[in-house]
Amino acid sequence: QVQLVQSGVEVKKPGASVMVSCKASGYTFTTYGLSWVRQAPGQGLEWMGWISTYNHKTNYAQKVQGRVTMTTDTSTSTAYMELRSLRSDDTAVYYCARVAWEPADGFDFWGQGTLVIVSS
Amino acid sequence: EIVLTQSPGTLSLSPGERATLSCRTSQRVSSSYLAWYQQKPGQAPRFLIYGASRRATGIPDRFSGSGSGTDFTLTISRLEPEDFAVYYCQQYGDSPTWTFGQGTKVEIK
C-alpha cells in the first residue's frame, strides 16, 4: 500500500532553516511527482511547490520562492523540503503529497504531516 | 492567478441531511482540473473527487461532484457522522501549479 512517512516535529528560531523529509513506499518512486502543502494553525491548505521525482524539475509557489528548495533521493525514495530564513508565520503543519498519475487530478496520497514551530 | 472561493464558510446540518458545497473560480477552468478533499481535525487531507465528478478509490457514492466553467459543487447526499469535516476544492494550473479554496466546514447542527 502507498505510504508517505514524514519526519517529526521541528522547533526553530526565526532566521533558521528547517528540512522536512518524506519517505515513500508501496509504489515506484520515480513514477509520480510530489508536492508540498502547508497549513498554518486554524487555516486552510497552501500549495508550496512540486518536484518531479523523475528529472528533479521543480516549480515553487511565488510566496516561498527563493526560500524553499525541494529535492529527492531516489536511492531511498525520500523527498526533502528545506525552508530557509524562517519567520513566525512559517509555523504550520507541512505535508508531502503524491501527485496523481495525471497531475490535473490532484494529490492522491498524503503524508501524516510535520509540525514546524518557529519561535524565539 | 485563479482564485477559488468556497461557500458557505460553515454549513450546519444534521446527520441524514443533504450537504451542498460550492466552489467558484475567478476564471473558467477545465472540469478535468478540479478536485475536492476532506480533512478531519488532526488528520491529513483525503482525496475525494477528481475531474470535478470522479470519485477517488474507496470514496462512498454518497459523495458526488458536478459543475463546469466557474461553478463547481460537492454534494453529500445523506450525511453520515464521519462526514463532518472541512472540505477543500483545488484547481490545477500550468507549470504545474495547484490552488486551494479556503475551505467549507460541515458541522453538526
Average pLDDT estimate for A60-88: 98
pLDDT the model gives residue B17: 98
pLDDT the model gives residue A14: 98
DSSP string for A15-78: T--EEEEEEEESS-GGGS-EEEEEE-TT---EEEEEE-TTT--EEE-TTTTTTEEEEEETTTTE
Q: Give percent of chain A with pLDDT exceeding 70.
A: 100
Summary mean pLDDT of chain A:
97
Tell me the chain A residues in contact with residue B40 when contact means C-beta distances shorter than 8 Å: none
Phi then psi dihedrals of residue A17, to 5 deg: -120, 155
3-state secondary structure of B31: helix
pLDDT the model gives residue B44: 98
Tell me the chain B residues in contact with residue A95 when contact means C-beta distances shorter than 8 Å: 44-45
Asked if B37 and A103 come within 8 Å (Cβ–Cβ), the reply is: no
The per-residue pLDDT for range B32-75, each reduced to its tens digit, is 999 999 999 999 999 999 999 999 999 999 999 999 999 999 99
| Probe site for chain A from B98, B99, B104, B105 (most A CB atoms < 10 A) | B98
How far is the alpha carbon of A100 from chain B, nearest alpha carbon, in Å? 10
The per-residue pLDDT for range A18-70, each reduced to its tens digit, is 999 999 999 999 999 999 999 999 999 999 999 999 999 999 999 999 999 99
How far is the alpha carbon of A35 from chain B, nearest alpha carbon, in Å? 9
A56 Cβ partners below 8 Å, 6+ apart?
A71, A72
